[in-house]
C-alpha cells in the first residue's frame, strides 16, 4: 500500500508580517509588515526565485496588464489574415500622423507636462524630451519599416528529396512584451515587430506616460485603424505602477519579453519573465570603454572622447584607459576633450580617478577613490561623468574590461594594426570599434530601429546578434511538399 502525496492549493488572500516564503528551492524570505498591510484578496505575489524579492501586483494592475495581453493575443491571430501591403500602409500612416502639426500639437503638450513634472521631481529629462530631432528620428524609423521587405514566409533553407522536399520558412513569433524607460521614440522602434506579423504590448515609465498616451491616442491607434490592422496590434498598458511591468512579464502568453532601463530593474524584470517560461532580451547595464594604446594618434583620441560624450545613453563613454607610457601626453588631451564635452552642454564635467593629487583641469571636478569601481555606470544627465584608469599595456586594459565591464562596447585608439587585431581577438565585448563609441545603435549603424541592445554581462547570446530589431523577431516553421504520392519510409 503506497500513500499518494500531492500539493493542495488555494487562493492567497492575505499575508501576515513575518510569514516565511520559500524561494530558490532552499531559502526563505519573510513578508514585511508593509507588504502584509497592502496585500488584499485578488492581488498577486510574485516571488523572484533568483533573489527572493517579493513583488506585489494589485488586482486592478494585474487585470489591466492581462487585458492588454489578451487584446494583443487576439490581434496576433487576426494579423495572419492581414496582407503585407496593409502592414506597409500602417507604417506610412503612423509616420504621416507624426508629421502632422495638428496631430503633433497634443503630443507636444503632453510631453511638456511630462518634462515639467519630471523636472519638479528632480528626475533627468534628456531622454524624455520629444524635441524636433526625436520626432524626425521616429518618422524616419517608421519609414524604414515601411520600406523594409516583408519577413513572413521567407524561405531560409530547403532540402530536396526524391519525390518530396522540405523547407524552413520564417513565421511571426507572437506577442512581444516591451518595458522601457521614458523615451517616447521607443514607440516607433518597437512598432517594428508588426512588420513581421507580431503584436506588441508596451509598458512605459511614469515619467513619459502622458506622452505615450498622446502618441497612442492621436497617432498609433488611428494609423492601425486606417490601415485595416486590429487595434490590439500595439497596446499601451495605461498604468504608472511598476507592478504593471511585473504583471506583463509574468504573463505566459508572451512570446518574447524585452526590457530597457536601469540595470537592477531590468534584471528583475528578466527574472520574472524567465520564471514564466518567456525568452528575454535585456539591456540594463551600459557604459562604453575607450582605450588609448601606446600607438594612439592624439587627434583621433581627442575626437573619440569628445564625440562619445554628447549625451548620456548606454553607449556613452564611461571608462577611459590610457597607456602609462603615453600618459604625460595623452592625459591632458583627454582632459581637454572632457572639458569641451561639458562646455558644449553649458556645463562642467566630473572625473573619477585613483591617483591622489590628480591635477584635473579647469571646469572639471575630480573625485579621487582608493580604488575605482570600474564596473559602475555613471548615470549623468547634464554633466559628463567618466572614470580614467592608467594601464601598463593593452593586455592589462583588456583584462580590466573583461573583469569589470558589462562587456558591451569597447573601442581602441591605436595606429598599430597588430594591436587592433589582438584587441579584437581578446576583448570580450559585443560591440568593438576603433573610434567614438556612440556608433552602437541599431538605427544609426544598421538603419534598423532597435528594440534593444544586448551586452554579454549575462553570457553570450546563442545564434543572435546584439542588436534586436523588429525584423529579428521571428520563428521558423517547416513545410513539406510531396510530389510523388508513392513515397514512404
- Domain termination residue (choose one: 28, 57, 86): 57
What residue ranges in 33-133 does DSSP mark as E strands? 44-47, 54-57
Q: Between 284 and 257, whose confidence is greater? A: 257
- How long a stretch of residues is the chain? 489
The verdict on residue 353 lying in a domain is yes
Q: What pLDDT, in 10s, does the model give residues 417-468?
A: 999 999 999 999 999 999 999 999 888 888 877 877 888 877 777 656 778 8
- Domain termination residue (choose one: 216, 250, 284): 284
Report how far apart, in Å, the C-alpha atoms of 22 and of each of 19, 26, 49 are.
Answer: 10, 7, 9
Residue 222 sits in a domain of what CATH number? 3.40.605.10
Long-range contact set of residues 299-305: C-beta below 8 Å, sequence gap at least 24: 300/413, 300/435, 301/330, 301/333, 301/334, 301/337, 301/413, 302/333, 302/334, 302/336, 302/337, 303/337, 303/435, 303/436, 304/411, 304/413, 304/435, 304/436, 304/437, 305/334, 305/337, 305/338, 305/341
The verdict on residue 10 lying in a domain is no
The verdict on residue 468 lying in a domain is no
- Domain termination residue (choose one: 284, 300, 329): 284
Which residues is 170 bridged to in the sheet?
Answer: 476
Across residues 356-380, what is the average pLDDT?
87
Shared-domain flag, residues 334 and 426: yes
Shared-domain flag, residues 298 and 238: no
Residue 263 has pLDDT above 90, yes or no: no
Shared-domain flag, residues 298 and 163: no
Report angle CA 106, 111, 113 to the nearest 5 degrees: 100
Residue 92 has pLDDT above 60, yes or no: yes
What is the pLDDT, as a whole number, of residue 1? 44
Total tally of structural domains belonging to the chain: 3
Residue 311 has pLDDT above 70, yes or no: yes
What is the pLDDT, as a whole number, of residue 478? 96
Residue 326 sits in a domain of what CATH number? 3.40.309.10
Residue 182 has pLDDT above 80, yes or no: no
Percent pLDDT > 90 in the chain is: 75
Boundaries of domain holding 220: 61-284
Buried/exposed 90-121: b ≥16 CB within 10 Å, e otherwise = bbbbbbbbbeeeebbebbbebbeebbebbeee
Residue 2 has pLDDT above 50, yes or no: no
The verdict on residue 471 lying in a domain is no
Residue 362 has pLDDT above 80, yes or no: yes
The verdict on residue 137 lying in a domain is yes
Shared-domain flag, residues 101 and 192: yes
95 pLDDT band (50/70/90 cuts)? very high
Shared-domain flag, residues 237 and 384: no
Residue 77 has pLDDT above 60, yes or no: yes
Shared-domain flag, residues 258 and 321: no
Shared-domain flag, residues 138 and 235: yes
Q: What pLDDT, in 10s, does the model give residues 136-171?
A: 989 999 999 999 888 899 999 999 999 999 999 999
The verdict on residue 473 lying in a domain is no
Shared-domain flag, residues 76 and 36: no
Report how far apart, in Å, the C-alpha atoms of 390 and of each of 319, 341, 395, 397, 444 are.
Answer: 11, 21, 12, 9, 31
> Average pLDDT, whole number, for the chain?
92
Shared-domain flag, residues 68 and 162: yes
Residue 173 has pLDDT above 70, yes or no: yes
DSSP state of 216: I
Across residues 90-106, what is the average pLDDT?
97
206 pLDDT band (50/70/90 cuts)? confident
Shared-domain flag, residues 136 and 194: yes
Torsion-angle region of 211 (φ positive above 0: left; ψ -120 to 50: alpha; else: beta) = alpha
What is the pLDDT, as a whole number, of residue 7? 61
Q: What pLDDT, in 10s, does the model give residues 38-49?
A: 999 999 999 999
Shared-domain flag, residues 384 and 262: no
The verdict on residue 253 lying in a domain is yes
Q: What pLDDT, in 10s, does the model give residues 316-359?
A: 999 999 999 999 999 999 999 999 999 999 999 999 999 776 76
pTM for this structure? 0.86
The verdict on residue 487 lying in a domain is no
Shared-domain flag, residues 126 and 220: yes
Amino acid at each position: 500500500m503506497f500513500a499518494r502525496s500531492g500539493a493542495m492549493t488555494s487562493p492567497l488572500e492575505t499575508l501576515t508580517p513575518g510569514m516565511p516564503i520559500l524561494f530558490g528551492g532552499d531559502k526563505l524570505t519573510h513578508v514585511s509588515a508593509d507588504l502584509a498591510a497592502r496585500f488584499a484578496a485578488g492581488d498577486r505575489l510574485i516571488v523572484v526565485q533568483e533573489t527572493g524579492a517579493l513583488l506585489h501586483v494589485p488586482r486592478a494592475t494585474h487585470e489591466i496588464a492581462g487585458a492588454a495581453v489578451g487584446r494583443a493575443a487576439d490581434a496576433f491571430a487576426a494579423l495572419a489574415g492581414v496582407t503585407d501591403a496593409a502592414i506597409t500602409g500602417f507604417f506610412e500612416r503612423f509616420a504621416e500622423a507624426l508629421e502632422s502639426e495638428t496631430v503633433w500639437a497634443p503630443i507636444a503638450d503632453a510631453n511638456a507636462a511630462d518634462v515639467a513634472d519630471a523636472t519638479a521631481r528632480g528626475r533627468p529629462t534628456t531622454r524624455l524630451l520629444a524635441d524636433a530631432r526625436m520626432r524626425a528620428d521616429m518618422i524616419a524609423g517608421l519609414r524604414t519599416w515601411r520600406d523594409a521587405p516583408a519577413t513572413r514566409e521567407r524561405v531560409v533553407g530547403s532540402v530536396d528529396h526524391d519525390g518530396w522536399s522540405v523547407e524552413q520558412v520564417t513565421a511571426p513569433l507572437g506577442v512581444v512584451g516591451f518595458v522601457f524607460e521614458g523615451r517616447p521614440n521607443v514607440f516607433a522602434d518597437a512598432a517594428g515587430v508588426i512588420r513581421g506579423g507580431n503584436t506588441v504590448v508596451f509598458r512605459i515609465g511614469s515619467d513619459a506616460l502622458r506622452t505615450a498616451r498622446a502618441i497612442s491616442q492621436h497617432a498609433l491607434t488611428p494609423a492601425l485603424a486606417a490601415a485595416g490592422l486590429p487595434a490590439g496590434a500595439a497596446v499601451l498598458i495605461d498604468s504608472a505602477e511598476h507592478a504593471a511591468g511585473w504583471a506583463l512579464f509574468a504573463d505566459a502568453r508572451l512570446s518574447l519579453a524585452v526590457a530597457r532601463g536601469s540595470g537592477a530593474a531590468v534584471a528583475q524584470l528578466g527574472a520574472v519573465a524567465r520564471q514564466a517560461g518567456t525568452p528575454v532580451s535585456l539591456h540594463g547595464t551600459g557604459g562604453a570603454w575607450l582605450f588609448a594604446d601606446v600607438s594612439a594618434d592624439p587627434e583621433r583620441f581627442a575626437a573619440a572622447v569628445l564625440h562619445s560624450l554628447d549625451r548620456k545613453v548606454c553607449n556613452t563613454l564611461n571608462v577611459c584607459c590610457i597607456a602609462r607610457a603615453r600618459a604625460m601626453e595623452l592625459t591632458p588631451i583627454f582632459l581637454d576633450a572632457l572639458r569641451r564635452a561639458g562646455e558644449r552642454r553649458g556645463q562642467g564635467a566630473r572625473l573619477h580617478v585613483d591617483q591622489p593629487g590628480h591635477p584635473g583641469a579647469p571646469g572639471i571636478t575630480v573625485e579621487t577613490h582608493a580604488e575605482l569601481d570600474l564596473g559602475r555606470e555613471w548615470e549623468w544627465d547634464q554633466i559628463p561623468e567618466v572614470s580614467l584608469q592608467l594601464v601598463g599595456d593593452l593586455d592589462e586594459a583588456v583584462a580590466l574590461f573583461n573583469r569589470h565591464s558589462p562587456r558591451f562596447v569597447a573601442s581602441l585608439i591605436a595606429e598599430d594594426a597588430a594591436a587592433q587585431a589582438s584587441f579584437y581577438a581578446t576583448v570580450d565585448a559585443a560591440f568593438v570599434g576603433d573610434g567614438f563609441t556612440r556608433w552602437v545603435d541599431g538605427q544609426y549603424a544598421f538603419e534598423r530601429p532597435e528594440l534593444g541592445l544586448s551586452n554579454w554581462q549575462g553570457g553570450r547570446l546563442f545564434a543572435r546578434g546584439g542588436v534586436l530589431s523588429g525584423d529579428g523577431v521571428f520563428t521558423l516553421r517547416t513545410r513539406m511538399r510531396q510530389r510523388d504520392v508513392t513515397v514512404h519510409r
